[in-house]
Amino acid sequence: MKMKKFILSLFASMLITTALWAQTNPADSKVKFTKETIDFGKTKLNKPVAVDFEFTNISKEPILIEAARASCGCTTPKWTQEPVLPGKKGKISASYSANGTGQQNKTIWVKFRGVDQDKELHLTGTVDN
């Protein structure tokens, strides 16, 4: 009975250790954004605004953005398609088509190759009639 408990305990420890090792570095260990939240200020209804989220590759290897998706259809992200070399800059451009009034808070999730967790960027501002 003691041997069974020991084996189960050893197996559980191995699973936890393997799960921790399987996680890759977070995006913050590979890129440094100039701003993670951009306030576009005030704009008028149905007047598009565009912003750029610039970043620097702070890792020792090239990085690649696999995808960027927005929290709504009114925000369209575009990004640097080629690998960004160490020390070089890349960007994610976001176009927001203001189709509602009031305070706006939009999120863009960026997926970097080799990073499990998406990086969150935020676009805020106010839309008037």
Q: What is the CATH number of the domain that holds 114?
A: 2.60.40.10
| pLDDT of the residue at 98 | 81
| pLDDT of the residue at 105 | 93
| pLDDT of the residue at 13 | 52
| pLDDT of the residue at 129 | 85
**Owning domain of residue 92:** 27-128
| pLDDT of the residue at 20 | 44
Q: Please identify every stretch of the chain with a pLDDT value under 50, giving residue numbers as ranges.
A: 10, 15, 17-24
4 falls within a domain? no
Other Cβ atoms closer than 10 A to 50? 11
What mean pLDDT, rounded, does the chain reach?
85
In the chain, how many domains are there?
1
| pLDDT of the residue at 19 | 44
- Rounded to 5°, the CA angle 120-21-5 comes to 125
CA 86 remoteness from chain centre: 18
Question: 80: helix, coil or strand?
Answer: coil
Residue 89's identity, in one-letter code, is K
Q: What is the pTM of this model?
A: 0.76
Question: 51: helix, coil or strand?
Answer: strand
118 falls within a domain? yes
